[in-house]
Amino acid sequence: MLRRSFWLWQQLQMGAASFKMEDLQKQLVPNPPPLRPLETVVFGSYFTPHMMVIDYADGKWSAPVIQPFQDFSMPPQTAVLHYAMTCFEGMKAYADVKDIERVAAGETLTQQRVRLFRPMKNVERLQCSMARLCFPSFDKEEFLQLLDEYVRTEASYVPKKMGYSLYLRPTAMGIGRTLSAAPSNMVRLFVIASPVGPYYAPAGNSGTPTMTLVKLLVEEHDRRAWPGGTGAIKLGLNYGISMYAQAKAQQKGYNQVLWLGPNREVQEVGSMNFFVLWKNKTTGERELVTAPLDGSTLPGITRDSVIALTKGWGYKVLEIPFTIEEMLEALEEGRLIECFGCGTAVAITSVSDLHFHDKDYSCPVPAQGSLGQRLLDELHGIQYGQTVHEWSHLIETVPPHIV
């Protein structure tokens, strides 16, 4: 599905020249405020002073601009307001562990090292999402360079503390000014940034993250995705239509929804990919299973990283359909070892309880040496530069001020 969308996008937009890093303009806030304490800040409610905006109109992209964070003004007939023509990415910028240690020791930084985790994967997925909406093309290398420069501009707002990060939200939306149900002839691509705290509090002073446990309500009726739909694309509408089931789950005391497909196959948990570690019913061999990328499952960057890491550790990893009944059978027979969700916001989160068909099930609570904890530790190490890895994208910067 992703290849088909990308091909269609290329055909529709052949000849559209990309924006370029060399054309970047900056309109900066004269005296930006210091970074606020983040201990009580709600996720996604606090933003840095600047945003990056690139508009498309009249068949061409405008020059990219890093400008003060501000509201958008648009007429009531704007396409995104009527036809949900928007897509986005979620990614994080992390302070390098050595900078964190220097700040903790009372040093003043004269240069910062900031790390992104596999950012090109996010850029490529954004391209695929834009393709499905018939938005114009761009050069992914140019966009990554622009993203790097935006992070440099906001480097003072990358928290110098383990478990904390600067959440980045690249977004594209159709801003054509007509009620016509057709591809938008105007598009706005923008990036905003939000300093955020950890989902998991570090254990003591070690900086080692610890997993929290979540309780899941298995959703039997509503669907997040279906064959031929947009489940594999990161569109805003996918998240909007999931709010009703999520609200029902929370009202009943559950943290997230476990989504099922039309044949009761397990798909995702909330907005995360989902993994089960169990013993094969016939052979007793340990297997890590997750839903395949069949067009209904989002190709998560953390998902891809989990698969690559566990294969490298010698695990048998299967991307296959499996039903909720097969999962519960493994649980009742004592073959289910652990299950967890994964995504950019939370990295790895373990499942402690399931509710299905008016019955509660307790999942094995993994110990400190569990696979989920090992994955969380490894991802954490790569993201902050504790572990040298090709997935860590380094940005060096000399910021105007350090906080």
Instruction: Indicate whether 401 pLDDT > 80.
Output: no
The mean per-residue pLDDT over the stretch 19-41 comes to 95
pLDDT digit string, tens, across residues 319-378:
999 999 999 999 999 999 999 999 998 899 999 999 999 999 999 987 778 999 999 999
Q: Read off the pLDDT band of 40 (50, 70, 90).
A: confident
**Residue 151 to residue 119: CA distance in whole angstroms:** 12
Find, among 59, 1, 65, the residue nearest to 27 by Cα: 65
Q: What would the two tokens of residue 300 be?
A: 């998560």
Higher pLDDT, 177 or 5: 177
pLDDT at 7: 53
Strand partners, 168: 91, 193
pLDDT digit string, tens, across residues 175-198:
999 999 999 999 999 999 999 997
**Residue 127 to residue 129: CA distance in whole angstroms:** 5
Q: Read off the pLDDT band of 260 (50, 70, 90).
A: very high
- Going by their DSSP bridges, the two strands 272-279 and 347-356 should be labelled as unpaired
Concatenated DSSP letters of 295-343: SSS---HHHHHHHHHHHHTT-EEEE---BHHHHHHHHHTT-EEEEEEEE
The mean per-residue pLDDT over the stretch 147-161 comes to 97
pLDDT at 227: 87
Mean pLDDT of the chain: 93
**Residue 386 to residue 208: CA distance in whole angstroms:** 11
- Pick the range with the lowest mean pLDDT from 1-10, 122-131, 277-286, 387-396: 1-10
Tell me the backbone φ, ψ of residue 104, rounded to 5 degrees: -60, -30
Angle at 141 between CA 137 and CA 143, to 5 degrees: 65
- % residues pLDDT > 90 (the chain): 85
User: What H or E segment, with its residue span, contains residue 128?
Assistant: helix 119-132
Query: How many residues are recorded in the chain?
Result: 403
Instruction: Indicate whether 11 pLDDT > 60.
Output: no
The mean per-residue pLDDT over the stretch 276-291 comes to 98
pLDDT at 148: 98
Domain positions in the chain are 1-204+386-396, 212-365
- The CA–CA distances, whole Å, from 178 to 74, 79, 159, 267 equal 12, 7, 42, 36
Q: Read off the pLDDT band of 203 (50, 70, 90).
A: low
Instruction: Indicate whether 299 pLDDT > 50.
Output: yes
Burial of 130 (0-12, 13-18, 19+ CB in 10 A): buried
For residue 175, the tally of other CB atoms under 10 A from its CB is 22
pLDDT at 15: 52
- Pick the range with the lowest mean pLDDT from 158-167, 204-213, 317-326: 204-213
- % residues pLDDT > 70 (the chain): 92
**Residue 199 to residue 240: CA distance in whole angstroms:** 22
pLDDT at 402: 46
Instruction: Indicate whether 68 pLDDT > 90.
Output: yes
The correct CATH number of 1-204+386-396 out of 3.20.20.70, 3.30.230.10, 3.30.470.10, 3.40.50.2300 is 3.30.470.10
pLDDT at 403: 42
Residue with tokens 């036809």, as numbered in its chain = 83
**Residue 79 to residue 260: CA distance in whole angstroms:** 31
CATH number assigned to the domain covering 212-365: 3.20.10.10
The mean per-residue pLDDT over the stretch 67-79 comes to 98
pLDDT at 366: 72
Find, among 362, 356, 379, the residue nearest to 309 by Cα: 379
Instruction: Indicate whether 14 pLDDT > 60.
Output: no
- Pick the range with the lowest mean pLDDT from 223-232, 245-254, 364-373: 364-373
**Residue 155 to residue 114: CA distance in whole angstroms:** 7
Burial string for 221-257 (b: 16+ CB within 10 Å, else e) reads eebbbeeeebbbbbbbebeeebeebbeebeeeebbbb
